[in-house]
Amino acid sequence: MSNDTRRNVGSVYRIDSGRWCARIQNGVRADGTPRRKSKVFDTKAEAESWIAQQAYELGIRGDLFAGVTLAKLWPIYVKARAESLTKKTMATYRWNVERIWLPSIGDMDVTMLTPATVQRILDTLTHENAKHAKTALSAVLSWAVREDIIKSNPIRGHTFEYPAKVTQESDYDDDPFAAIEGTRDVWTATDVLRCFELIRGLPLESAWLMCVGAGLRVEEALAIRRMDVRRVEVGGRMVTQIAVHAARTDLDQRKATKTKQSVRIVGMVEPMGERLFEIAQGHERQDLLCPISASRQNKAWRNCFLPPTVSKHAKKVGNYRGKLQELPYIPLSKMRNTHVTMMAEAGVSDSLNALYHGHTESVERRHYLSPDMTEATARVSDKLKLVL
């Protein structure tokens, strides 16, 4: 922060104890004299960051933020966005900013940040970490633009390269399923129909049916209640439809869907649709169809592919290990990819497929397309019947 900025808006100075005092003007008294607010901090950086936060809350912009660093910007962002972002999203941003960006570029003027600098840091991360890190940084910078703290996001619009997904043989010794996640993405129609038989009665059956039969995200499938499912006749066919308008995560429990475009009504592929409706009939209107929590679903799914074990606790907790072990393992989240693939193989266009799955990138098409979801799901259902 420049000396001129401190004279006009606030000041930071060292006191006798060796700590730092931050003082900012906070209005005017009745007699016309300035009212000031102050606070003492251990470090100069903390004091200057506090002044920036106070100035933001007072609506002061412009010169105060000249030369603003990510270290000063981040606390303001957290306070301003804590209520509007989901807990899961904020936790992800916090991990990436505080673990990756603050140690590396925290003291740099963000307006001087270049794509090349960001790329060098991304190159040191894993594939997935790099993607999340870039998203978190860009979110903070874009917010700062909207708040008139900086004029532009210096990395917006740049295409970054992410490190390749790399697995070593030793990775499979500890957790083979996690290592395989990046190399096997979809099931064949034969795999899908085999699972349809094997998964019957398991706690995650309804979630799997919705992910593979309707392309729902796992967090969306976990939030579906009895009242969100109906079976109607459309064009001479009975179709199970799902009203997707909420999601359930381990941090947020029940929350809004990922994007506005994610709120949608989708028809289910058969025989998944008929089976889901059958399951729904055994629940009350407000009941969740899947009893597994968001925090447990990943482990519960993996256990279905592990070799079965005999345990004295099996009857008490429910032993589902090995129920799907004859199938190739892919994460439950990848069943959405399987649904996309089946739709494409049945002749559904890419644009219609994107709309079906609530993808943000297709928002501009919403006003120009009237997708016939029933016909799309019918074509996939017919394709599956040929495999039976």
Tens digit of each residue's pLDDT (9 = 90 or more) over 304-352: 998 876 555 544 445 678 899 989 888 898 888 888 888 777 776 666 6
The per-residue pLDDT for 76 is 86
Ranked by mean pLDDT, the top range of 48-52, 252-256, 282-286, 364-368 is 282-286
Residue found by looking up tokens 């199938």 in the block: 327
Q: For the purposes of burial, counting CB atoms within 10 Å of the CB of 75, is it exposed (0-12), middle (13-18) or buried (19 or more)? A: middle
- C-alpha span between 301 and 12 (Å, rounded): 55
- Kindly provide the residue ranges of all beta strands, DSSP E only, lying in 85-228, ordered along the sequence: none
DSSP, residue by residue, 16-28? TTS-EEEEEEEEE
- C-alpha span between 27 and 273 (Å, rounded): 63
Considering the domain delimited by 175-387, tell me its CATH architecture: Orthogonal Bundle (1.10)
CB contact set of 124 (below 8 Å; sequence gap of 6+): none
Closest C-alpha to 237, from 369, 381, 383: 381
- C-alpha span between 28 and 157 (Å, rounded): 43
The per-residue pLDDT for 22 is 84
The encoded tokens of residue 388 equal 């039976």
State pLDDT tens for residues 107-157: 899 988 999 999 999 999 988 899 999 999 999 999 988 887 888 898 988
Sign of CA dihedral 74, 79, 85, 89: positive
- C-alpha span between 196 and 190 (Å, rounded): 10
Reply yes or no on domain 3-146 having CATH 3.90.930.
Answer: no
- Residues of each domain in the chain carrying CATH 1.10.443: 175-387
The per-residue pLDDT for 245 is 92
Share of the chain above pLDDT 90, in %: 32
- Residues of each domain in the chain carrying CATH 1.10.150: 3-146
